[in-house]
Amino acid sequence: MPGEELEELLLPAEVARILRVTVRTVERYCARGKLRAVKVGRLWRIPRSSLEEFLKTEAEGNAKRRFE
């Protein structure tokens, strides 16, 4: 729609660099639904909001495990 901005989509390589994991790990997260993403043809694209949500969820999970 006019006036609406599209959300930034990240490449698996960009997400891998941020998470300090391999591109293949990011692709597995996407395929398993652990990281919300869309597939454009054969290539994954990850919305920035999905990465932020993933980081928050992982941080909360790590904190819970630390105190169990």
Q: What is the pLDDT of residues 4-37, one digit of tens each?
A: 778 899 999 999 999 999 999 999 999 999 999 9
**Per-residue pLDDT at 40:** 93
* Domain boundaries defined on the chain: 9-66
Predicted confidence (pLDDT) at residue 68 exceeds the cutoff of 70? no
Burial class (CB in 10 A: 0-12, 13-18, 19+), 39: exposed
Please state the pTM of the whole predicted model. 0.81
Predicted confidence (pLDDT) at residue 1 exceeds the cutoff of 60? no
Mean pLDDT for the stretch of residues 47-65: 85
Q: Quick check: helix, strand or coil at residue 38? A: strand
**Per-residue pLDDT at 64:** 60
CATH architecture of 9-66: Orthogonal Bundle (1.10)
The residue type found at 20 is R
